Amino acid sequence: MKKTILFIGLLSSVFIGFSQNPKIIDTLEIHNQIKLYGIDEKNLDFKYHFFSDIVFLNDSTLLYNPNSTLHLFKIYLGDIPRVSKISKETHSGHNYNRHLFLYDDILYSYGGQGLFNSFPDLLYFDYSSGQWIKKDIKNYPFDAQKVLNSWRIGNKIMVLLSTFSEFETAKLDTKLQLSFGEINLDNFEFIQKRNFTSTTQELLVQSGLGFFRGNYIYDSDLYSLHGYYQEYGNIKYRIFDKKLASFKRTTELDKLKPVNGFSYIYIRDSTIYYRDQRGNIEYLDVDLGRILHSKDYFELYKSKTISPYYITSILIVICIVIFYFIKRKKGSNLNSLTDTSKQEIFIIENKLKDLKLQTITKEKLDDLFGISHHTYETTKTRRSEIISIINKNTKIKIIRVRKQNDKRFFDYKIS
């Protein structure tokens, strides 16, 4: 009995292992079947974009939406693949380089561009009608022009949008108005994280790649793998960490070989698997290898915002400067006087020392200042000037107090 149970367990694990491995994708046979629908092959660009235009419904079924079109095919994999067209659209769309993904078994196409226009909206495919339908999003920027970058993690799409700017041009150094946020796929609401300005050049992943999603894409919950065709059949691979928003090239990724459908690459959790044409599987961890190039989108998209620490530092510097000028101004009255005037203030200060804690009349103070012989207005002005200089530049303070017997007039208290 134990042996029977063990045998059944081993057998089931074998079948589970097979079900987790993707089946062969015979691209030649798939292409031949699609030709029967009479679609212009120039619109399909089958050779360079097939592996970026498919998503897996399950291990044996693909959905294929050719880049820049609204065609949709369902492909059943097996010894001989079976292709059926499930969309009714016959025209192309402004969806080149769009973000194609599944959520809750619904196929979405987000963003993209055509020859002269960009499409900044979200479409979903309605299986009953065979049509792509635009999905309304609450609080979505009314001036959204183009989806520059996006990725799905869980029930959200992280989004970088360019918004309307009358000064926008195709030049790399042109400042763009940008909005970074997220779309909730459960209630279809957009939440903006921040607005900022930047140039296309500052936001490029790296020279030659930009925001192009790749000729080859495989998505998992935590990572996406992007492959870029190069000369002589080579492919450059990049791994994107969705949680950290980090796009990396590593020495181990550079060792990965091109795929053709009989050979295949896929991701499970944090492991990349390479299946060769004979079915042999090699694997590597996404964190292995030396990082040759990295872009951290979260840091990049907040680089133009001012941090609270920066604001605090600026305020401290401003306060120090203001304090310095106030202190300097306090000494400026005395420093601006001539040597003779400074001597007179020094004599007045010594006279006032003998009157500390006393209250004297205005007339006595004018005599002490030596200004009683002037006209009324001149005496009043000189008295105010001398009191200000004394109070700011000496240890003596002269305070004006109301007379006790007549509140209309003032005496002066020396302290």
Strand 216-219 relative to strand 189-199, pairing: unpaired
The pLDDT tens digits along the chain (415 residues) read 444 433 334 333 333 333 345 678 888 899 999 999 888 777 777 878 888 899 988 888 999 999 888 999 999 998 899 999 999 876 666 778 899 999 999 999 999 887 678 889 999 999 999 999 999 999 999 989 889 889 999 999 999 998 875 444 555 567 788 899 999 999 999 999 988 888 766 676 544 434 678 888 888 889 999 988 887 778 889 999 999 998 899 999 988 888 877 888 888 888 998 888 888 888 889 988 999 888 888 888 875 545 565 567 777 888 887 776 666 555 545 555 555 567 777 788 888 888 888 888 888 888 888 888 888 888 888 888 888 888 888 888 888 888 877 777 888 888 8
Which of 140, 142, 145 is closest to 157 using CA atoms?
140
DSSP calls for 235-256: EEEEEEETTTTEEEEETTGGGP
- pLDDT for residue 5: 39
Domain locations in the chain? Answer: 2-301, 337-414
Structure tokens, 137:
């999003």
Residue closest to 387 by CA, chosen among 332, 345, 337 = 345
Give the pLDDT score at 154: 92
pLDDT score at 54: 92
